[in-house]
Amino acid sequence: MGRVFAIVLTLITLVSVAFFVMHTWWLPPDISTTGPAVDHQFEETLIGTGVLFLAGQLLLGWFAWNASDKTKKVRPFPGGATPLVTAAIVLVGIEVFTLTFVGSKAWGAIYLAPADPLALKIDVQAEQFAFYFRYAGPDGKFGSVHPEKIDDGSGNYFGLDPANDEAARDDIVAASLVVPINTPVALTLHSKDVGHSFYVRELRVQQDFVPGLDIPLHFTATQIGKYEIVCTQLCGLGHYNMKAYLEVMSAEDFQQWLKTQAGQ
């Protein structure tokens, strides 16, 4: 039975690892300036954990195989517990600190580094169950929001008051996040009702919307295309269906798009 266990375990281990190594199901190509650091961290972790996984499972299988040999007497583990414990502390300790040190740079680039002061500012509102995006318009200023003025029926998702608020008059509200390529973009995330989250796989970023807070998130997209933004924070019955698109365009196309939106 020990031999059967060893064989089954080995098969399970090899098949599992194969799918990881072959990247059969893997992250989509990244399209952001901070993406490569994250992907590098992934690959490093894959190698490190892959070795640990293989070693752990195969050792277990091997020991189980050996322990089923009834002809042998009981033998102690060579060296006893101390070398094993010491090795665990040292090796895992090294791995831990390496991962932390390198990984914190990748993390810092996304979340700790301040946004480019000249970044394109976009206001993002999440609600049950949609995302809306607001651009400041030619005057470069965002109008103030008034929750009590929100009226989805007439498209006033943000609760703007153009009649009394000059800055609000040229604000552009869209249902897609449209950005120019290779341009720093600075989002401000706020929620109208409950917690939501902003997740674009290709950008390698995820950030929760917290009601009551305005949360900054910045990125620079490096490839033209259309990418899905999905909600990842359980927000109610429509959570599975809450999404929008990130559209990365050339600078000219983006200006054209802005003009078209402003005209509406």
Partner 1 sequence: MHDVSASPASHQHTAPSGFLRKYVFSLDHKVIGKQYYGLALVSVFVGMILSWLLRLHLAYPNWHIPLLGKFSATGAPDGVMTPEYYLSLLTMHGTLMVFFVLTNAPFAAFGNYFLPIQIGAEDMAFPRFNMMSFWTTFLAFVVMMASFFVADGPPISGWTAYAPLSAVGGDAGPGLALGQNLWAISIVLFCVASLLGALNFIATTLDLRTKGMSLARMPYSTWAWFVTSVIALLAFAVLLPACILLILDRVAGTSFFIPAGLILSDKLQPHSGGSPLLWQHLFWFFGHPEVYIAILPSIGIIATILPVFTRKPLLGPRALVGSMIAIGFLSYMVWGHHMFVSGMNPFSANLFSVPTLIITIPATIMTLLLTASVYGGRMRFDTPALFCLGFISVFISGGISGFYLAQPSLDTYLHATYFVVAHFHFVMALASLFGVFAGTYFWFPKMFGRMMNETLGKWHFWLTFLGVYCVFMPMHYLGLVGNVRRYSAFVDDYLAPLIPVHKFITIAALLTGAAQLIFFFNLFWSRFRGSIASVNPWEATSLEWSTTSPPPFDNFGGHHLVVENGPNEFGAEAPDGTDFVMQAAPRKGA
Q: Where in 134-153 is the site for partner 1 (CB under 8 A)?
A: 147-148, 150
106: three-class secondary structure by DSSP: helix
- Please check whether residue 230 is in contact with residue 199, taking contact to mean a CB–CB distance below 8 angstroms: yes
Least distance from C-beta 175 to partner 1, angstroms? Answer: 16
Applying CB under 8 A, the span of 2-10, 114-122, 136-144, 248-256 interacting with partner 1 comes to 2-10
**Which residue lies nearer to partner 1 by CB, 137 or 204?**
204
Among 81, 114, 154, 264, binds partner 1 (CB under 8 A): 81
Asked if 96 touches partner 1 (CB under 8 A), the answer is yes
Give whole-number Cα distances, 63 to 7, 53, 67, 69, in Å: 12, 15, 6, 10
**Which residue lies nearer to partner 1 by CB, 36 or 140?**
36
Least distance from C-beta 28 to partner 1, angstroms? Answer: 7
Asked if 173 touches partner 1 (CB under 8 A), the answer is no
Of residues 33-72, which lie at the interface with partner 1 (CB under 8 A)? Answer: 37-38, 41-42, 45, 48-49, 52-53, 56-57, 59-60, 63-64, 66-68, 70, 72
The two most distant CA atoms of the chain are separated, in Å, by 92
Nearest-angstrom CA–CA distance, 175 and 163: 23
Applying CB under 8 A, the span of 17-25, 114-122, 131-139, 253-261 interacting with partner 1 comes to 17-25
**Which residue lies nearer to partner 1 by CB, 13 or 261?**
13
**Which residue lies nearer to partner 1 by CB, 140 or 236?**
236
**Which residue lies nearer to partner 1 by CB, 55 or 262?**
55
Amino acid at 253: D
Asked if 197 touches partner 1 (CB under 8 A), the answer is yes
Q: Kindly give, in sequence order, each residue whose CB lies less than 8 Å from that of residue 122, ignoring residues fewer than 6 positions away.
A: 133, 134, 135, 177, 179, 185, 186, 187, 188
Give whole-number Cα distances, 58 to 3, 83, 189, in Å: 12, 20, 47
Q: Kindly give, in sequence order, each residue whose CB lies less than 8 Å from that of residue 133, ignoring residues fewer than 6 positions away.
A: 122, 123, 124, 125, 173, 174, 175, 176, 177, 178, 244
Applying CB under 8 A, the span of 130-138, 173-181, 236-244, 255-263 interacting with partner 1 comes to 236-244
